[in-house]
Amino acid sequence: MIDMGDDERAVLERIGQGLLYTESEASFQAPLRRADLIFEYNRTRPGDAAGRRALLERILGSVGARTVLNSPFHAGFGSNVHIGDDFFGNVNLTFVDDVEIRIGNGVMIAPSVTLTTTGHPIHPDLREDFRRFSEPIVIEDKVWIGSNVVVLPGVRIGYGAVIGAGSVVSRDIPPMTVAVGVPCRVVRPISADDLKNRLAPS
């Protein structure tokens, strides 16, 4: 836990409202960063399952059972990431977790995906001292995110949704839909017909 005064609490309240804050104002959160542990995790042997699991439990805010997170992965903090059971994250997964990223059960994420809770103002005069805003990301159960997807601040991806490769997700995606594109848009619902997809002939 961080020992906070009134000024720090005021900054956290502003962050929680999605308002702008600066790097200097947020510097009191530095002890929550897990950069050294992430560095260590990314250099563990793939076969050292117990060692990798122990490190993940120290890095992440919470982590479920049967989690696979391939190296390397990157995170601003690590401690603001919460992952459910039966998670698979492929290589080069990046969490920009200035605020919480919550990932449900049975989620699969392909290579080179970025989940970013943080953005910056459009006007350059507002970007002094790395001024930014942050909004949490929620990925519900059984979502599949394709390669090279970027999920932007404040987005919720609904249960069972599929996000096509290369998409930029800037708005919420409803459950049980396929969405793709820049910006990412729903192209169709997921239906019982998809149960037959790529099955061997009977």
Q: Which residues are designated catalytic?
A: 120
Angstrom distance (rounded) from CA 31 to CA 107: 29
Q: Which two tokens stand for residue 12?
A: 């956290």
> Which amino acid is located at 27 in the chain?
S
3-state secondary structure of 46: coil
- Ranges of H-type helices in 118-179: none
Query: Taking a C-beta distance cutoff of 8 angstroms, is the pair 139, 123 a contact?
Result: no
Terminal Cα distance for the chain, rounded: 57
The count of C-alpha atoms lying within 13 angstroms of the C-alpha of 160, restricted to the half-sphere facing its C-beta, is 10
Strand ordering across the sheet containing 88-89:
68-69, 88-89, 108-109, 144-145, 162-163, 177-180, 185-189
Contacts 24+ apart (CB under 8 A), 65-69: 69/93
